[in-house]
Structures are given as C-alpha cells and as structure tokens.
Amino acid sequence: MPSLLALIDGSDNDSATLRAAAEMARAVEARLTVAHFKPAEAVPIGTFEMAAVLPNNSALVAEARRRAQEAYSEACSRLADCRLQVIDAGIAEAIEQLSPYHDLIVLERLSGVDGPDALAFSAALWTAGCAILVTPAPAKSPESVRHVAVAWNGSLQAGRAVRAAMPFIQKAAQVTVLQRHGSVEDAELTRYLAAQDVPAPASRTYGQGHLSGRAWGRALLAATKEIGADLLVMGAYGSAVGNLLGFGRATEKIVTSAQVPVLLSA
C-alpha cells in the first residue's frame, strides 16, 4: 500500500491541500499521513532584512492546531487509513523527520519560486530526495487516475519518477509516453513496464525545433492536456540554492502552471 504525506499549518490553504491529498489517496487506496507543522513568522532583524522564526505564542499555536484539526476532520474523515500527526518544528524539519516513512509528499502547485511553498519543495526534492505529488486546484484533482502521461528522456530522474508513480500507473486504464520531438521510442521502458504488468503504452512526441526551457514545459503541458491525461509523471531537474528552489526552466513551468496532478522525482 502506498504511503502519502500531506503538510498543513493551520492556514486557510489547509482545506484545499487536504481535499486534493485525500482524492489522490483514494485513487490508489493509499495510506495518508497529515502532518501539522509550525508556520514561520517573518520578523524584522534590521532596516531592510527579515528573518523567519517559529512562533512561540501559545494562543497562536493553539488556534493554528484547532484550524488544522477542523480541516483534517472535514477532508479526511471518510478515508479508511489516515492519521493526523503534530510536528513541533517548521516545514523543512517536518519533511526531514517524516519523509523516510512515506513514498510521496503531496504539495500544492507553486505560485512562485520563493517563499514557504518553495522551501517545502526544496526540502523534499533536493534535501530529502523524496518524490512529490503536485496538486492543482482541488476542483481539478481527479477522483481516479485513468490515464497517466509519462514524460520520458531516459534519465535517472525520470526513472525514479516512474518507479514512484507505479501504484498509479498500474491502476491506470491507459499510459502514454511523451518524448521530445526527434526522440527514439525506448524499448527498455516498454519492457520494464511490461514486467510490472503494465500493458504496452501509447507513444507520442511533443514540441518541435529549438525551444527554450519554459517553451518545452509549455509544450509538455499542452500534450498532456491534448491526450486527456489525469496525471503527469516526470523527472525534476535543478538544484537547491539556499532557501530558494533552483528548478530548471522547463520544470519550473510545469510546477507553477500544471492543470493536472504532477508526480516529480529528482
């Protein structure tokens, strides 16, 4: 049984995060752990500088826990195997503590490449080396995953993503391998999928010519939409840069614009 990890902090975004996580857990009958971590507060340390610190105001902490519990009860009460765990640490520390015991970390689609959400991506991908399931708006998260698109280039990252996505791939009625224009179909991938009891996938190319990184990302999203896929599986490319998320340009476009869930692995 796959094990998913979702992270909440008692904010207004918790309900949306948990609804999407619960839907993806139902899709593969997964175990879901919801971790409530302490949100960071920005405080001034100089004329133009800010520092993030964990709040120690007991009233604020209690209110955040109450809101987190309400969001959890609303979104996860019908899941057969789900639990809420309180982590007395920030989001990066929560990921470090819990990621060894979970297959996927469920995170919301990024609105930018800095801030707390980007810190969570960076901690999960580059520090903990976890696979991430990126969810779009909850209304667009599928109740089942019928069609999986695999963005394939034969890289280590793409291979790790496919292995992490196997519970979704095995339950899908259709799998389509998407490769950049000019690529040769990978017979080894077909053999690997067959060994996992996955029928031979469809294959198609996307993009054309000498595109920029972001343009390749747009082309991949367009191809995913065109074939009607419910989930996109792909490698994540980039590196950690301090507390920011150093995505490659194509990957950055995907995680900030995807309209379907995306499973990433670095």
Q: Which domains does the chain have, with CATH numbers?
A: 3-135 (3.40.50.620), 140-265 (3.40.50.620)
Residue 151's contacts (CB-CB under 8 Å, 6 or more residues apart) are 158, 178, 179, 220, 232, 233, 234, 235
Q: Which has more confidence, 137 or 109?
A: 109
220 vs 252: CA distance, rounded Å: 12
For the chain, give the mean pLDDT: 87
Task: Quote the pLDDT of residue 48.
Answer: 46
Partnered with residue 105 across adjacent β-strands are 5, 132
Is pLDDT at 179 greater than 90 in this prediction? yes
Is pLDDT at 55 greater than 70 in this prediction? no
In 103-190 the beta strands, taken as DSSP E runs, fall at 104-108, 131-135, 147-151, 174-180
Q: Sign of dihedral through CA atoms 80, 84, 85, 91?
A: positive
Task: Quote the pLDDT of residue 246.
Answer: 62
Give the CA angle between residues 32, 197, 27 to the nearest 5°: 25
Name the band, by pLDDT with cuts 50, 70 and 90, for residue 142: low
Average pLDDT rounded to a whole number, residues 207-213: 86
Task: Quote the pLDDT of residue 214.
Answer: 87
Is pLDDT at 219 greater than 50 in this prediction? yes
16-25, 91-100, 127-136, 233-242: segment of lowest average pLDDT? 233-242
19 vs 71: CA distance, rounded Å: 9
Q: Which has more confidence, 112 or 155?
A: 155
Task: Say whether 71 sits in a helix, a strand or coil.
Answer: helix
94 vs 217: CA distance, rounded Å: 30
Give pTM, 2 decimals.
0.87
Is pLDDT at 15 greater than 50 in this prediction? yes
Can you read off the two tokens belonging to residue 88? 């007395």
Partnered with residue 190 across adjacent β-strands are none
Is pLDDT at 88 greater than 70 in this prediction? yes
Task: Say whether 226 sits in a helix, a strand or coil.
Answer: helix
Q: Which has more confidence, 39 or 241?
A: 39
Name the band, by pLDDT with cuts 50, 70 and 90, for residue 25: very high
Q: Concatenate the DSSP letters of all residues of 94-128 into one string.
A: HHHHHGGG-SEEEEEPPSSSSSHHHHHHHIIIIIS
Task: Quote the pLDDT of residue 127.
Answer: 85
